Amino acid sequence: MRKLVLLGIAVCFVVMALGIAAFAEEKKEIHIGVTVPGLFSPAFVEMKRQGELKAQELGVKVTVVSAENDIDRQFEQVRDFIAAGVDGIVITTIDSHGIVKAVEEANKAGVPVITVDRKSFGGEVFYHEETDNFNAGRLCAVYVAHLFKDNPGPIEIFIERLDPSVDSVEDRFQGFMFEVSQWPNLKVVAAPNLGMDVGKAFEATINAFQANPNIKVIFLPGEPWLSGTVSALKQLGKWFPRTDPNHIVMVGVDGDQFAVENMIEGYYDFSAVQAIDKFVANAIEVFVQYFREGKKPPVKERYVPVLGLCPENFDFIKDRVWGYRVYMEQKGKQ
C-alpha cells in the first residue's frame, strides 16, 4: 500500500512538472522581425507605428528595421532575424525578385515569412497581403476620364512611373494605362521611370512640362513623390487651385497626409487610399493566431480594395483615411 501511495505521489509530481513545462512553453515570448524598404514614405512610417501598437496589444515582441531602399541591406536584415531566432518574419520588399534568396534562407531555417504590400517572386510565403493595386491605378484614371468626359481632348497626361520591378507600383501603372486606353480623349505624353527615388520627382516634372507644356493631368503611383512634384509646379508657375481653369489635375495612390493636406487646401484632386497602415499589424495578428492557436489564415493571399477620396466625398469618408488621422495628429502638435 505504501508503495502505491509513493507511486501515486511520484506520478503527481511528474504530471505537475509536465504541466509547468507546457505552461512555460505556451507563455514563451513570440518575437517577430519586420523589415520595410525605408521610412522616406509616410505609409511605411505609419505601417511601422501601427505594427508596434498591435504587438503591444497582443503582448509580443516586434523588431522593425528600415532597409533604406537597399535590397542587399534588406537581405542581411532577414539573415540577422534568422540568426536572432525570431519566430516569424514580415517583409515589405524593395525588389520582388531580389528578395527571393532571403525568403528561401528563411524557409531553410524553418522561419515562416509573411510578405505585405509587395510580393516575393519566389520562396515559400506563409501569407501575403497587399492593396488591389491594378484597380487602384484604374480608379485614378476613371476619375480623370469622368472629369474630362465632355472634353474632346487630347487631355495630356504625365505619369511619374516608378520602378517596374516593384510589383505594387507597376500594377498601379498598368491599371491606369488600361483605363486610359478605353478613353480616346486621354493621352499619356510622358512616363519617365523614377525608380524608387523620391528625389527625382522635381526634375522629372520640370522636364515633362518643358517638353509638353499642355499637360493637364499628373498621375502619381506613389504619393511620397507629391512633394517634389508640387515644388516643381510652383517653380514652373503652374500651381493653381482646383477652382482655377489653369489647375493641373493631380491623382495618386496612398492616401498619405501630404495628399490630404493638399486636398483640404484645394489643390489635390483624387487619392486611391490604401489600408497600408494596417498591413504589418495584420501580419502580426496572423502570426500570433498561428503560434498560439495553430490557426492558419483562410487564404494564402489577400488583395485589399482601395477607398476613393476626392473633395466631393471628403467630409463623408475622411475618418476612414489613415493620412487624415496622421494629418490631424500632426496639426494638433503644432
pLDDT in tens, 282-311: 999 999 999 999 999 999 999 999 999 999
Which stretches of 173-321 are assigned E, i.e. beta strand? Answer: 186-190, 215-220, 249-254, 270-273, 301-304, 307-309
Q: Tell me the C-alpha distance between 323 and 271, whole Å.
A: 10
Q: What is the domain-level CATH number for residue 208? A: 3.40.50.2300
Q: What is the mean pLDDT of residues 211-224?
A: 97
Note whether residue 217 is domain-resident.
Answer: yes
CA distances from 53 to 116, 277, 282 (A): 17, 11, 11
Encode pLDDT of 252-287 as tens digits: 999 999 999 999 999 999 999 999 889 999 999 999
Quote the cell numbers at residue 295: 490557426
Confidence (pLDDT) at 41:
82
Same domain, 106 and 151: no
Q: Tell me the C-alpha distance between 102 and 119, whole Å.
A: 13
Same domain, 162 and 230: yes
Phi and psi for 113 in degrees, rounded to 5? -120, 135
Share of the chain above pLDDT 90, in %: 84
Same domain, 109 and 156: no
Confidence (pLDDT) at 27:
57
Q: Render the burial of 34-65: b for 16+ CB within 10 Å, e for the rest.
A: bbbbbebbbbbbbbbebbbebbeebebebbbb
Same domain, 142 and 289: no
Same domain, 252 and 293: no
Same domain, 44 and 185: no
Q: Tell me the C-alpha distance between 166 and 157, whole Å.
A: 22
Domains of the chain: total? 2
Q: Tell me the C-alpha distance between 296 and 235, whole Å.
A: 53
Note whether residue 16 is domain-resident.
Answer: no
Confidence (pLDDT) at 23:
40
Note whether residue 3 is domain-resident.
Answer: no
Same domain, 125 and 140: no
Which stretches of 80-174 are assigned E, i.e. beta strand? Answer: 88-91, 113-116, 127-131, 155-159
Report residue 334's pLDDT band, with 50, 70 and 90 as the boundaries.
low
Same domain, 193 and 170: yes
Note whether residue 318 is domain-resident.
Answer: yes
Note whether residue 2 is domain-resident.
Answer: no
Same domain, 162 and 266: yes
Note whether residue 17 is domain-resident.
Answer: no
Note whether residue 24 is domain-resident.
Answer: no
DSSP 142-166: HHHHHHTTT--S-EEEEE-B--TTS
Q: Render the burial of 311-322: b for 16+ CB within 10 Å, e for the rest.
A: eeeeeeebeebb
> pTM for this structure?
0.86
Same domain, 262 and 156: yes
Same domain, 285 and 319: no
Quote the cell numbers at residue 315: 467630409
Note whether residue 1 is domain-resident.
Answer: no
Q: Cis peptide before 112, with omega less than 30 degrees from 0?
A: no
Same domain, 37 and 122: yes
Question: What's the domain range around 178?
Answer: 133-275+309-333
